[in-house]
Structure 1
Amino acid sequence: MIRVVLADDEPLTRAGIRAVLGAEPEFDVVAEAVDGREAVEIVQSHRPDVALLDIVMPRLDGLSAAAEIHRTAPATGVIMLTTFSEDEHIARAFDGGASGFLLKTGDPRELFAGIRAVADGAAYLSPKIAQWAIRRLSTGGDRTSGAVRARELVDGLTAREREVLALVGNGLSNAEIARRLHVVEGTVKVFVSAILRRLQVPNRVRAAIIAHEAGLVERG
């Protein structure tokens, strides 16, 4: 069972997400928070597998809470719940310790997939968030030059590294990639470390963006 902490200052949003997760027996919402500071304290005491954080919250915003959770409870994966009206916050979130990014208005199946992926140590981008990131984050808004640059970076990888990067872009964890490629998980970790170094990116989220931008991940 995947243990989840949910933080959002809107009661209806929390109730809706709790109801959606409650319909799936593999998820257990162990606690809820109404602000970022409470979210950090609850995560530190409950040590859940995943924390779902709204970006805009009182006392401590979701981005600051994500960074604090990443520092004090690194075993807990963080997923940011976002809206496109908060795009300036999303830009900060990509380097703030979060591993997943989901739209509040997205398909519940994306919520399930994102929680599973992040709980298993992977990064997960909602397809719409990934497309937004390609347009706005990687290239300063120049999508064409960004795609060219991404393909140049990917061309510097070996065929096996490109294969692993594509799976990272699809939100697979190291364990899932290992099963898909019929190798041990330690081998995948070596590949992922090499990919991050060659792409000159700090985390799997940024690598996933490049995978999308370079066309390694099928849209939709």
Structure 2
Amino acid sequence: MTIRVLLADDEAMIRAGIRAILGTDPGIEVVAEAADGHAAVESALAHRPDVVLMDVRMPRLDGLAAAAELRTAAPEIAVVARVGRGLSNQDIATELFLAEATVKAHVSTILRRLALRNRVQAAILAHEAGLSDS
């Protein structure tokens, strides 16, 4: 099974770097890239990726607003929904065929980029942005 990924970041170098990293895994295919939130939503609806990796701060439509639109328009992007319900690092690692240490590193990076101290603050941010069910 191949995991189909959409990359969304306004920095072309960041997208290229992530694409290069993901390209080393034969089980992951980057199916599309987007430079802003609107393009991310359009690409996700056109390509129906399994996972969308999206920067929070992008022009035209930020990542949180784009994720909220995707959640409404394409609820079948299931990994995002399952992560939002509180999966552990090991659960996420298993779902995405990654090492748990890799997941921990990505979670730490996400928290740092959002200037959050922990997952509780991330859950509150997601709730306030309309990205969670509760």
* TM class, shorter-length: 0.5 to 0.7
Query: Deviations 1:195-218 (Å, cap 9, x if unpaired)?
Result: xxxxxx946xxxxxxxxxxxxxxx
Q: Residue 3 of structure 1 aligns to a residue in which SS?
A: strand
TM, length-normalised to structure 1: 0.42
Percent sequence identity over aligned pairs: 46
Which residue of the partner structure matches residue 48 of structure 1?
A: 49
Query: Deviations 1:12-54 (Å, cap 9, x if unpaired)?
Result: 1000000000000000000000000000001011111011110
Of the three residues 75, 83, 98, the one matched with 1:99 is: 83
- State whether residues 37 and 59 of structure 2, in contact with CA within 8 Å, keep that contact through their aligned partners in structure 1: yes
1:24 to 1:7, Cα distance in 2 relative to 1, 3 A: same
TM, length-normalised to structure 2: 0.65
* Structure 1 gaps, min length 5: 80-96, 101-109, 118-123, 140-200, 204-220
Structure 1 CA distance for aligned equivalents of residues 36 and 5 of structure 2: 16
Alignment of 1:16-165 (within 5 A): 16-77=17-78, 99=83, 113=93, 116=96, 126=106, 128=108, 129=111, 132-133=117-118, 136=121
Structure 2 CA distance for aligned equivalents of residues 4 and 38 of structure 1: 14
* Structure 2 gaps, min length 5: 85-89, 98-102, 125-131
**Does 2:3 correspond to 1:11?**
no
Q: Residue 5 of structure 2 aligns to a residue in which SS?
A: strand
**RMSD of the TM alignment (CA)?**
3.4
Q: Higher Cα Rg: structure 1 or 2?
A: 1
- State whether residues 79 and 95 of structure 2, in contact with CA within 8 Å, keep that contact through their aligned partners in structure 1: no
Instruction: Give the structure, 1 or 2, with the largest relative contact order (CA under 8 Å, sep 6 or more).
Output: 2
Deviation of the 1:62 alpha carbon: 0.2
Structure 1 CA distance for aligned equivalents of residues 57 and 121 of structure 2: 20
Structure 1 CA distance for aligned equivalents of residues 67 and 39 of structure 2: 12
